[in-house]
Amino acid sequence: MMILALLRTDSSAVTFGRLTLPDGLSFHTLEPPWRDNLNNVSCIPAGTYTLKRRFSVKHRCILFEITAVPDREDVELHIGNFLKDTLGCVLLGLGRQSEMVTQSHEAFDRFMAAMDGIDECLIVVSWAPGISPESRMAA
C-alpha cells in the first residue's frame, strides 16, 4: 500500500508542512495551529491514518479524506491558500509565503493526477524535531 508522509515543519499562527509522495513529489501544506484537536480550529494529531478518495459535498469535487481521526470528521486534503480556507483540513500549495500557501489549485491538480488510480493509501503525519505543540502541551 502506498504511504504518504506529511512532515509539519513550522507552527505558530498556522502550521506549515511538506506532503511527500513515494516518488519524491512534494507539496507545501497549511493547516491550523495545534489547538488540542478541537474540531474546525485545530490541525489533527500526529499519527498514521488512511486516505480515501471520495466526493466532497462541501467542495463539490473528488478529493482525499483523512479517515479515522479521533473525534473528527470530514478532514480533507483540498484547495485553499489561507487559514480562513480550512476548518481543520490540509491545504495544498506549490509554495508558501507569510501565513499562506500559493498556487493551491495547481498543487491540488498535480496531487490528484499523481494519485490517479489510487483510491486508498496511508498518510503518516508527524512533527519535525523540536516543534511539536502536542509534546509541549503534554509536558
List the chain pLDDT tens, one digit each, 139 residues: 999 999 999 888 999 999 999 999 999 999 999 999 999 999 999 999 999 999 999 999 999 999 999 999 999 999 999 999 999 999 999 999 999 999 999 999 999 999 999 999 999 999 999 887 765 554 3
Q: For residue 88, tell me if it sits in a domain.
A: yes
Question: Please, where are the H alpha helices in the chain?
Answer: 104-114, 133-138
CATH number at residue 49: 2.40.440
Q: For residue 47, tell me if it sits in a domain.
A: yes
Number of domains in the chain: 1
Q: For residue 139, tell me if it sits in a domain.
A: no
Quote the pLDDT of residue 60: 94
Quote the pLDDT of residue 135: 55
Q: For residue 65, tell me if it sits in a domain.
A: yes
Which residue range is the domain that position 95 belongs to? 3-130
Q: For residue 28, tell me if it sits in a domain.
A: yes
Which are the contacts of 11, defined by CB distance < 8 A and separation ≥ 6? 33, 34, 43, 127, 131, 133
**pTM of the predicted model, to two decimals?**
0.94
Q: What is the 3-state secondary structure (H, E, C) of 110-134?
A: HHHHHCCCCCEEEEEEEECCCCCHH
Q: For residue 135, tell me if it sits in a domain.
A: no
Q: For residue 105, tell me if it sits in a domain.
A: yes
CA angle at residue 83 from 24 to 21, to 5 degrees? 10
